[in-house]
Chain A
Amino acid sequence: MRREIPLILTGIVGITFFVQFFVPHSPMRELSETFSDWYSIISAFAIWLGGLNLMKISFEKVYKKDKDWFFAVTTIVSFFLILIVGLFFSGGRQYLEQGSGYDWLYRNIYSPLSATMFALLAFFVASASYRAFRARNAQATVLLLAAFIVMAGRTPFGDWITVFLPEGWRLSNLSNVIMNYFNVAGQRAIMIGIALGIVSTSLRIILGIERSHLGGE
């Protein structure tokens, strides 16, 4: 029951989605739409599970007075703040509308926090690349050059340092060539490899050969 039923469920749902693609008629179409809704409903519960688990861990931290327990209080307060505002004080289904409490929290807290957090990565990536990017061999040099050309070519600086070249032959144009041809060729090889990997892994999951999602038993 702990293993067999999940395996059967995985197989049935997976095969339904697969077959529905080739037989887009009743009852396969309705069944597939139903499973698609199931996916949305269960994934919503999964997000709630994540939130509740975060609260469980944070409350434990506060209860045990662990190190930095005060920050766990902040997490709890901010979680419940947006939850209460979003569920009860933002006009129900119109919660996303401009001017709602949820929208205010999004614009003034969530958005600046996430944008600054990702902006910080610019510094970390730059410092990491300074340490890691050494032209040790030809391949590393090619990587370094491609990165430099793309970065410089996307700014006025790129054209400024190649101002002696005729217009249309400057770094921004070279950057376009790299992005549209060399980069696309490499991306295609990667994408084709990923697709083949996903097809084989999906088959293994549907047929019950791959069971790691059930705890690796």
Chain B
Amino acid sequence: MSSEFGIWLAAFFTIGIASFLYKDNPLYKFCESVFVGISAGYWAVALFWENLITKMFDGLGISYSLGLWPEKGALQDIFSGVWNWNILHVLAAILGIMMLMRLFPKIGWIARWPLSVIVGSTAGLWMITYFQSNFLSQLQKTVIPLFDIGRINELSEIGAVMAEQGRSIPLDNYFAAYLGNLVLIFGTLAGLVYFYFSKEHKGIFGRTAKVGIYFLMITFGASFGYTVMSRMSLLIGRLYFLFSTWLGFVN
């Protein structure tokens, strides 16, 4: 059994949160409220050092003026007659303070200004990045030959080697060579047809949309299974911590 205080604390919080499986209880509520406070504080500290200090204080040269950072910033450059774009961070600081006005209901509307910068930059950035990564690159990956000739040729070579070892070619390899591309192309198209609501889903269009639903159902099922397994691995991690690191039952 561990004698380290931190391990005992971690074990206490692990059991406290897990106690919810029995029913909602004061121990769980205590751990939950600690989690809320710690999470909020964790991100406040992280963003203070990563964003406010490095971008705002260092960029403006306030850290340099206070002797906390060796590099000069915008204020020093501007006073020596050199233009530095970072001087505009003053406006960001003002907008940031305006964001905090949200805490006061009467002047809360002032927070719309910084919010508009966040929304505008996200919109401008995402419009291009999503168009590139999610639209163009996905289309590009779908415009492929119906059959993967390279893999089909490889199959016979792999098959000969595996036959010598008394093994058969794995299902994944067969599928990748003969049906993989076909499934990718038709599945994507069918899914897109299902999402196209400007035309009534009738006739061939309707039947393709129906196939699209099946592809989407497989996707949702696979995503669900994958999520459950990732949560299970977290659970195993916690159980391993309790029985190994804390209690020392497992070496």
Contact = CB atoms under 8 A, between A and B. Distances in A.
Interface of A: 2-3, 5-7, 9-18, 21, 30-31, 33-54, 56, 68, 71-72, 74-83, 86-87, 92-93, 95, 102, 104-123, 125-126, 129, 138-140, 142-151, 154-155, 166-169, 173-174, 176-196, 198-199, 201-203, 205-206, 213-215
Contacts of A74: 30, 33-34, 37
A108 B120 CA distance: 39
B135 A95 contact: no
Interface residues of B, number: 128
A37 B89 contact: yes
B223 interface: yes
A119 B123 contact: no
A194 B134 CA distance: 8
B121 to A, nearest CB: 5
B65 interface: no
Interface stretch (B149-157, B198-206, B234-242): B234-242
B146 to A, nearest CB: 14
Nearest to B195: A193
Per CB-CB distance, the 7 closest pairs between chain A and chain B, nearest first, are: A189-B191, A185-B187, A186-B219, A17-B124, A146-B221, A86-B45, A150-B225
B221 A143 contact: yes
Contacts of B228: 122, 125-126, 129, 147, 151
B80 interface: no
Contact of B124 (A18, A33, A179): A18
Contacts of A115: 14, 234, 237-238
Contact of A83 (B34, B44, B231): B44
Given A6-B113, A44-B96, A181-B180, A37 B216 contact: no
Contact of A143 (B7, B88, B115, B217): B217
Interface string B68-100: 000000000000000001101101110111011
Contacts of A146: 217-222, 225
A153 B121 CA distance: 42
Contacts of B113: 5-6, 9
Contacts of B195: 189, 193
Contacts of B18: 116, 119-120
B222 A37 contact: no
Contacts of A147: 221-222, 224-225, 228
B184 A188 contact: yes
A45 B226 contact: no
A56 B203 CA distance: 59
Given A37-B59, A120-B21, A16 B124 contact: yes
A30 B224 CA distance: 43
Interface in B1-56: 6-7, 9-11, 13-14, 17-18, 20-21, 29-53, 55-56
Contacts of B179: 181
Given A41-B51, A83-B41, A186 B216 contact: yes
B222 A182 contact: yes
16 contacts: A14-B123, A34-B88, A37-B86, A37-B92, A40-B51, A47-B44, A51-B44, A109-B10, A115-B238, A145-B221, A167-B167, A181-B176, A182-B187, A191-B135, A202-B127, A213-B116
A115 B72 CA distance: 42
Give the one of B103, B117, B138, B168 with max A CB within 10 A. Answer: B117
Contacts of A37: 55, 59, 86, 89, 92
A95 B45 contact: yes
A11 B123 CA distance: 9
A48 B100 contact: yes
Given A41-B52, A139-B214, A166-B167, 20 more contacts: A6-B116, A13-B124, A30-B85, A41-B96, A45-B114, A51-B44, A112-B17, A116-B14, A117-B35, A122-B235, A126-B228, A147-B224, A186-B218, A187-B219, A188-B188, A189-B188, A190-B219, A194-B134, A199-B127, A202-B126
B61 interface: no
Nearest to A144: B221
Contacts of A53: 102-103
A168 B171 CA distance: 6
Interface in B142-199: 142, 167-173, 175-176, 179-180, 183-184, 186-192, 194-195
